[in-house]
Chain A
Amino acid sequence: MSKAIHLPLADNFEPRIVAFFCNWCTYTASDLAGISRMTYAPNTRVIRVMCSGRIEPQLLLAALREGADGVLIGGCHPGDCHYQAGNYKCLRRFKLLKKYLDQMGIEPQRVRLEWIAASEGDKVQKVTNEMTEQIRKLGPLKLTAIPKPPSHHQADQAPVCQGAVS
C-alpha cells in the first residue's frame, strides 16, 4: 500500500539517471559541488568508479535494463587520466556503444559522456541539470521486458558486473 503511494504519477515523471563518475576527477568535482553548496537536480544516482576506463558497455546497458532513463559518465579531461589512458578507452567504447544504441532505437541523448576535472564543481551542476531536463523531455525509457519462463528453476545467469573478458 505504502509503495503505491510513493510511486510517481504518470504525468509527474522524475527521470532516473545513473551517473558513473571517476574517482580522480568527476567524483571529486561532485564532492566539490556539494562542499560549495551548489544545488542541482537530485535525479542522478552517482556511482563512484576508479576510472572512466572501468565503464564497460555491460554496465551502461545494465543500468538502462534495470530501470535508468539515462546514463551519464564523467571522466578526466583528455591527457589528465590518473591511469594515463583510461578515459581514451572509455571514449572509444562510448563511440561504439552510441552507434549500437542508435541501432537499438535508444535516443542518443539518453547517454552522455563528459570530461569534468576535479576543480569543475560548477560543470557537474550544469551537466546534471541539463541531462535531467533532457531526459524529462524524452520521458521514461520503457524497455521491453526480457521474457522469463514459468518456472521453479532459473538458468544460471552471471552477475552483470563481473569480468567482461576472461
Chain B
Amino acid sequence: MSKPKAGFYWCASCGGCEESVVDLAEDLLPVVDAIDFVFFPLAMDFKRQDVEALADGEITVCFINGAIRSSEQLGMAELLRRKSKILIAYGSCAHQGGIPGLANLYDLESILETAFQQTPSTDNPGKTRPLPQITVAGGKLTLPTLDESVKSLDQVVEVDYYLPGCPPPVALLKAAVQAILSGNLPPRGTVLAPDKALCKECPRLDSKPDELLITQFKRPHEIEIDQQKCLLAQGLLCLGPATRSGCQAACIAGNMPCTGCLGPTSRTRDQGAAAMGALGSLIESTEEDQIASALENLPDPAGTFFRYSVPTSMMFRKHQNA
C-alpha cells in the first residue's frame, strides 16, 4: 500500500510554523516514515507544477500556514484545496489572520505608501511602486497583486480542520498527525485543541482572586512580575480568560501574559470582543474619568485584544467609508 501523501505550504507567514514541525524532534522520524511529502517548499524541492500534476484529492492531508493577501497565495490555496482530501489551517495566521491580519487596520494604499515611500531608510524620489507586470528586454515579468484586505484561509477556501497557535504547540501537532494517520478524526470544522479557556489549565489559577479588579493596566516592562501570581491580578493584560487552551500555558511559564494566539473556544464568535468584555469590566472604578485614565495605558485595543484575529473578528477590517 502506498503511503498517504502530505503537503505543507506557507502563505503570509513568518516561517515559524515550519519551525514547529522541526520541533517535533525525534517524533518527526516516524511521521516521515509514515507519509510521503509531495510538497514542502521550505524543506524539499517541489514546484507548483508538481502539485498541478497530481490528481484532485490525491494529497491526503495538506497543512497551510499563513494568511491570504496576494493573488499568488489565493491561487496556491485554491490549488492545494482541490488536490487535498483534508485541508488544515495551520497556525494563527491561517486560522484567524494572525499578525499579518493587523494590516486590516490600514488601507492598502497607505501601506504601500509607507513601505515604498515614507520609511526613513527609503530613497525613492521617483515614487516607484511594484507593478503586476512589466515588459523588459528579456520578456514580460509579473508579480502577484495584493488584495485590499488580509484574509484567513477559511475566508478563501474550505478548511477541514484548524491547528491553532503561533506556532501550533508540538503536542497538538503530534495529536493531529496521529488522528489523521489512524483516521480517527473529529467532525469537519473542528479546532484540534482542547475546548476550554487557558485559565483552566494555567498553573497560576489558584492565585487568581475570586473578585479580580484592576486599578491600572500595566505593561510587562513596567513592573517586576511575580512568578507565581496570576498575571491579571498583577494588572497585566493576560488574554487567558478569552483564549483556547492547549499550549500548556507556555507564555505564562515564561512569566509573560497570554496574547491570545490559540484563538477563542468554540462558544465564542469574536475573541477580541470577548476579551474586551471580560477584561474591561475588571477596571476598579465607577467614575467615568477614572475609567478613562485606567484605559490610558491601553492605547491600542485593536492590536492588543485582536492581535491574531482582526480578519476573523466581526469588524473584519478597519471601516472604509464607501
Task: Please report A residues at the B interface, Cβ cutoff 8 Å.
Answer: 53, 56-58, 61-62, 64-65, 78, 85, 88-89, 91-93, 95-97, 99-100, 103-106, 141-149, 151-160, 162-166
B155 within 8 A of A: yes
A164 touches B277 (CB 8 A): yes
Distance between A14 CB and nearest chain B CB, rounded to angstroms? 18
Jot down 7 A-B pairs with beta carbons below 8 A, ordered by A: A104-B318, A143-B319, A146-B314, A149-B155, A158-B269, A165-B197, A166-B267
- Are the CB atoms of A162 and B268 closer together than 8 Å? yes
Q: Choose one: A96, A144, A155; the contact of B320 (CB below 8 Å).
A: A144
Q: Which of B142-165 contact A (CB under 8 A)?
A: 149, 151, 154-159, 162
A68 to chain B, nearest CB (A): 12
List of 6 A-B pairs having minimum Cβ-Cβ separation, nearest first: A105-B319, A56-B277, A156-B189, A164-B274, A96-B280, A57-B273
Main secondary structure of the interface of B (DSSP, over half): loop
Q: Which B183-208 residues have C-beta < 8 A from chain A?
A: 187-190, 195-197
Q: Mark B276-308, 1 if CB is under 8 A from A, else 0.
A: 111011110110100110010010111001000
8 Å CB contact of B319 from A104, A145, A149: A104
**Contact across chains for A165 and B242 when beta carbons are under 8 A apart:** yes
Query: What chain B residues lie within 8 Å of A88 (beta carbons)?
Result: 286
B322 at the interface (CB under 8 A from A): yes
* Interface SS of A by simple majority: loop
Docked-complex contact B154 and A155, CB < 8 angstroms: yes
Alpha-carbon distance between A165 and B282 when the two chains are bound, in angstroms: 14
| A96→B322 CA distance, assembly (Å) | 26
- Name the residue of chain A whose CB is nearest to the CB of B157: A149
Within 178-232 of B, Cβ neighbours of A (below 8 Å) are at 187-190, 195-197
B316 close to A (CB within 8 Å): yes
Closest chain B residue, CB of each to CB of A110: B319
